[in-house]
Structure 1
Amino acid sequence: MEDLTILSLKILSVLLLSYIFLRVFYSIWWKPKWLERRLKQQGIRGNPYKPLIGDMKDFVKQVTEAWSKPMSLSHQIAPRVDPFTHTTVEKYGKISLCWAGTTPRLNIMDPVLMKEVLANKQGHIGITPLALNPLILVLTEGLTLLEGEKWATHRKILTPAFNLEKLKGMISVYAESCTLLVEKWKKSIAHSETCEIDVWPEFQDLTGDIISRTAFGSNFEEGNQILKLQKELQKLVVEALHSLYIPGFRFIPTKKSQRRRSLDKSITSMLRTLIERKATLMKTGQTNREDLLGLLLQSNDETNNKHGNKMTIKEIIEECKQFYIAGHETTSSLLTWTMIVLAMHPDWQDKAREEVLTVCGKEHPDAKTISQLKTVNMIFHEVLRLYPPVVAVFKHTYQETKIGNLSLPAGIDLTLPLLLTNHDPELWGSDAQEFNPERFSEGISKASKDHQAFFPFGWGPRTCIGQNFALMEAKVALSIILQNFSFELSPSYTHAPNTEIALQPQHGAPIILKQL
């Protein structure tokens, strides 16, 4: 009987080891090779699969090397910002294959196919699993990371808060924050003719102050305190994401992991207090409903009355976190690169200033005058083309799906390299690497050879809900700066664009300001 028990245990052990071996073999070899074969049968070229690591070693090597030194003062930034994708596309074409570990990654640079992916009519394409990393979810579990019915509900509730007419009422708030920044810069110039200022952190502070004021109204100082904690948490998360990922390591109570948890707890607690107080005051008519939080809470109540489906307090907290990340990073990136580019091209700086002074005089821009700033609008579109805050969009196939003539099996990452597409001479002409706002003189649809080539805020149902907010904010800020200063690049400026959450100047953006 004892021998039979021992034999049974041995058989179970062999079966267990065999199962583990087969699972590992399936994950590391059979599935990746099967997916690779499916893609290559359709004429897709790319790097051959390397067991377990894929192309990660080459990716890290190329990025590390590219970011280790600055580049010449030109707009041909793709080889530095996204060297691995740039090299892959150059070698294998606009539809090309590479590997994120054991997962095949398909680069898609055809604008028509890119929009098909973003439209996702079959509903088989979703957020890449990498975006659902627990470290990222610490920052926010808001709209951009939701799918299905929950995404649809949140989008419907949030949309009224970002209605264009509602945003026009916030222009005075944008101007108030911008005026404070301008006064600060004037004090820095003081009795000298010029001063040097790194505008990258300045614009981060500006956009943070604006999002706090527009989101939380009279409670903006509390909003600014939350922002400071959010920025610290974001820095720790980015640092952790750049290190080697070891499953479960985040649960080890290191000093930084404990600080991340502490910050997350504090941010959540402060937002909960602020939201609950706002909701109580709204019920008694003691507070303004016209800030983003007030509009969100009002829309949430109206949705509940009509359909019985509303956001929980936890979900509202996560959307408030989303306000900060989306509204803070992208606009500060856009404003920073616009200042750098206009410093590089003083003729366009003069044209923009002349237009602002003609349309607005010395008065702050308002909803009417902003709509008349055609040259400023063209400049922002061209900066968004050359220096998009989001350089690529990442998706994942969760079921077999058809894109154009391609049949994509489940389990494939999709990369839509916006930066590379925006710099493609086949789409934008021989001057694709040059700053030429005139290409947008007849609007976005006629700017490129392919009428569908430019979509800096996404496409389809998931187009960025805050695009009008960001562009109006940027126009107000640039207009007020142009009314008060001329500027040029500092001799200490180093041209080194790279990405963390958004495209940013790796070594800052020192600009020499001269008060007008």
Structure 2
Amino acid sequence: MWTGIGWWWWVGVVGVLSWIAYACRSEWGKSERVRRKLRAQGIRGPPPSLFYGNLPLMQKLQSQSKPSSLSSHHSHLFVAHDYTSNLFPYLEHWRRQYGPLYTYSTGTKQHLFVNEPELVREMNQCLTLDFGKPSDVTNRLAPLLGNGILRANGLSWAHQRKLVSAEFFMDKVKGMVGLMIESAQPMLSKWEHAINEAGEAQVEVAQDLRSFSADVISRVCFGHSYTKGKEVFSKLRTMQKAMSKQGGFLFGLSGFRGMVNLWRRKEDEMGKLEREVESLIWELVEERKRQGSSEKDLMQLLLEAAESEEGVGDHLSKKFIVDNCKNIYFAGHETTAVAASWTLMLLALHPQWQTAIAQEVAEFCPDGMPNAESLPNLKKMTMVIQEALRLYPPAAFVSREAYGDIKIGNLLVPKGVCVWTLIPRLHRDPDIWGPDANEFKPERFSDGVSKACKFAQGYVPFGVGNRLCLGKNFALVELKVVLALILSRFTFSLSPNHKHSPAFRMIIEPGHGVHLLIHRISSPPSPHVPATC
């Protein structure tokens, strides 16, 4: 016999289940309508399951993909190594099946894979603020980046970019060369002292380059050295690694249980690290306030901007400063250090290019010391950097979400769809770069990017469009400075201990670092001896 309470309990259960079923049908219906719009434009893709979309297959392919690790004995395979198939096996699986333009689903979220050069060019010309960073990914990045420029969208992003970009105009970057040279001295001295009686030393350069790059960004943007900011960098690095575990950072490939565990980790490990990082940054801000400074660096710009915002409380003002410091700390040093690591690895494999650059540095940089006037003359070095960024771009994706219906060329991207361009695949496409796309050939850039490939938009190491990396000038100058300093003092080859294993940890980095055998140069190379490359 039903009691009044029991009857109402069952009514409640049925009601909740009915609501869940209605919500699922509604979300599935929305996704299906989006897919129909894409199919009507001739865009195909794998059929999705009801609740998980294509996540089950993505999980399966990712679990079957074994990270490859090549020793220095296989150095001839390093450049041609197709690491995209290991890092993103599901994207490559579907590219081979459907071509450079296809659609797929993660749950009820619909995605477009776009690796057609013409569409990439159209994305480059799309200036609307309704085409921003994918919300799913930026939400996962919140502990690391807060609401700073790398996560922001719309007017908030436009405001922050206008503020921060002023620090990275080329005229200002040229004035940072001296500080970059100063920041490199501890690393160079460390390598000098490591050289044994036989005249060589084994060094793992990736970590040393991180320390160098971190010191640069600390000095030029915040007015303090890496010694004071090293705890911030260390904890940000720990957060980066934790977020990148299990390959589920982009699309939640770890499944529901993994998402629950991720949430728990965020509450525990991530939450603790996030609070510690914010506390450390604010200590540096408070110290800067107490000292006072007329220096117009990024820290000063952030402080002035926070003070000038009318109607913004102290909490939001503090968050604005801290979040943007976190963004610049992370983006300003991590990608440049990784790019320098890959470049040194490639130069270790191609000593003729080491010789060519060393001669160039000897000709244009007195005593091996670069300056703002000499850097533009380092043409061969520029070609090598461009080729290193082509083969091993630190950024894996150009990613956007349509926050309204967006027209990209003749393609209509419905609201809510995320667009992904896989940069390393675009950079190694034989249809764009020719049959030698997997070879290290810096000379392809001898007449600039436009002549290096069939479609100039096929080269996007710094992204595309109005969200082009604002630190591009800064990164290129820093790379030239550190390479000039290294190549004026050392020659190097790969160490037998080196393991080549590209890894995706929010950026594409050397999974086991870059291990080199370095030798001191007894006298600078003659600038008059031609090098054959």
TM (norm. structure 2) is: 0.87
| 1:96 and 2:95 correspond | no
Report the Cα distance in structure 2 between the residues aligned to 1:442 and 1:13, rounded to whole angstroms.
Answer: 70
SS at match of 2:150: helix
Deviation at 1:417, TM superposition (A): 1.1
Deviation at 1:412, TM superposition (A): 1.6
Range moving further from structure 2, 52-61 or 354-363: 52-61
Give the alignment partner of residue 191 of structure 1, picking from 194, 197, 216.
197
C-alpha deviations, 1:202-222, integer Å up to 9, x for none?
222221222222223245432
Match of 2:74 in 1: none
Deviation at 1:353, TM superposition (A): 1.3
Tell me the amino acid that sits aligned with residue 17 of structure 1.
L
Range moving further from structure 2, 360-369 or 469-478: 360-369
SS at match of 1:430: coil
SS at match of 2:512: coil
Deviation at 1:87, TM superposition (A): 2.2
Match of 1:272 in 2: 282
Give the alignment partner of residue 180 of structure 2, picking from 174, 177, 188.
174
Equivalent pair of 1:36/1:49 in contact (CA under 8 Å) = no
Equivalent pair of 2:394/2:508 in contact (CA under 8 Å) = yes
Equivalent pair of 1:424/1:432 in contact (CA under 8 Å) = yes
Equivalent pair of 1:289/1:295 in contact (CA under 8 Å) = no
Change (3 A) 1:245 1:201: farther
| 1:358 and 2:363 correspond | yes
Equivalent pair of 2:222/2:298 in contact (CA under 8 Å) = yes
Tell me the amino acid that sits aligned with residue 24 of structure 2.
V
The 5 A counterparts of 1:302-321 are 312-321=317-326
C-alpha deviations, 1:155-193, integer Å up to 9, x for none?
111122112222212111111121211110111113232
Equivalent pair of 1:353/1:483 in contact (CA under 8 Å) = yes
Match of 1:57 in 2: 56
The 5 A counterparts of 1:48-127 are 48-70=47-69, 72-77=77-82, 78-127=84-133
Equivalent pair of 2:132/2:153 in contact (CA under 8 Å) = yes
TM (norm. structure 1) is: 0.89
| 1:263 and 2:273 correspond | yes
SS at match of 1:133: helix
C-alpha deviations, 1:194-236, integer Å up to 9, x for none?
1211212222222122222222324543222322232233333
The 5 A counterparts of 1:31-46 are 31-46=30-45
Equivalent pair of 1:153/1:309 in contact (CA under 8 Å) = no
Deviation at 1:270, TM superposition (A): 2.3
Query: How many residues matched?
Result: 506
C-alpha deviations, 1:49-92, integer Å up to 9, x for none?
12323332333343344443325433343323333222211211
| 1:388 and 2:396 correspond | no
Match of 2:443 in 1: 438
Match of 2:231 in 1: 225
Equivalent pair of 1:98/1:106 in contact (CA under 8 Å) = yes
Change (3 A) 1:374 1:16: same
Range moving further from structure 2, 393-402 or 371-380: 393-402
SS at match of 2:47: coil
Give the alignment partner of residue 345 of structure 1, picking from 340, 350, 359.
350
C-alpha deviations, 1:228-255, integer Å up to 9, x for none?
2322333333348565555665665x6x
Tell me the amino acid that sits aligned with residue 51 of structure 2.
L
Match of 1:414 in 2: 419
Deviation at 1:257, TM superposition (A): 4.2
Report the Cα distance in structure 1 between the residues aligned to 2:135 and 2:379, rounded to whole angstroms.
Answer: 41
| 1:491 and 2:501 correspond | no
Root-mean-square deviation (CA), in Å? 2.9
SS at match of 2:377: coil
SS at match of 2:517: strand
Deviation at 1:338, TM superposition (A): 0.3
Equivalent pair of 2:398/2:464 in contact (CA under 8 Å) = no
| 1:503 and 2:508 correspond | yes
Range moving further from structure 2, 111-120 or 365-374: 111-120
Tell me the amino acid that sits aligned with residue 278 of structure 2.
T
Match of 1:24 in 2: 24
Match of 2:529 in 1: none
Deviation at 1:324, TM superposition (A): 1.4
C-alpha deviations, 1:84-123, integer Å up to 9, x for none?
2222112111111222233222110122322433543344
| 1:133 and 2:132 correspond | no
Range moving further from structure 2, 261-270 or 111-120: 111-120
SS at match of 2:499: coil
SS at match of 1:411: coil
Report the Cα distance in structure 1 between the residues aligned to 2:4 and 2:215, rounded to whole angstroms.
Answer: 74
| 1:458 and 2:428 correspond | no
Report the Cα distance in structure 2 between the residues aligned to 1:495 and 1:513, rounded to whole angstroms.
Answer: 18
Equivalent pair of 1:67/1:496 in contact (CA under 8 Å) = no
Report the Cα distance in structure 1 between the residues aligned to 2:3 and 2:368, rounded to whole angstroms.
Answer: 94
Give the alignment partner of residue 405 of structure 1, picking from 406, 410, 414.
410
Q: Percent identity?
A: 31
| 1:156 and 2:166 correspond | no
Deviation at 1:462, TM superposition (A): 1.3
Equivalent pair of 2:203/2:517 in contact (CA under 8 Å) = yes
Report the Cα distance in structure 2 between the residues aligned to 1:371 and 1:300, rounded to whole angstroms.
Answer: 36
Deviation at 1:333, TM superposition (A): 1.1
SS at match of 2:481: helix
Report the Cα distance in structure 1 between the residues aligned to 2:510 and 2:472, rounded to whole angstroms.
Answer: 22
| 1:235 and 2:210 correspond | no
Equivalent pair of 1:388/1:456 in contact (CA under 8 Å) = yes
Unmatched runs of 5 consecutive residues or more in structure 1? none
C-alpha deviations, 1:432-461, integer Å up to 9, x for none?
111111121111222211132222112222
Equivalent pair of 2:244/2:504 in contact (CA under 8 Å) = no
Tell me the amino acid that sits aligned with residue 22 of structure 2.
L
Change (3 A) 1:408 1:163: closer
Equivalent pair of 2:132/2:154 in contact (CA under 8 Å) = no
SS at match of 1:154: helix
| 1:332 and 2:337 correspond | yes
Equivalent pair of 1:69/1:496 in contact (CA under 8 Å) = yes
Deviation at 1:341, TM superposition (A): 0.7
SS at match of 1:514: strand
Range moving further from structure 2, 410-419 or 366-375: 410-419
Change (3 A) 1:64 1:197: farther
Equivalent pair of 2:103/2:113 in contact (CA under 8 Å) = yes
Range moving further from structure 2, 158-167 or 475-484: 158-167
Give the alignment partner of residue 467 of structure 1, picking from 467, 472, 475.
472
C-alpha deviations, 1:120-177, integer Å up to 9, x for none?
3344322212223255434432101111221111111112211222221211111112
SS at match of 1:433: coil
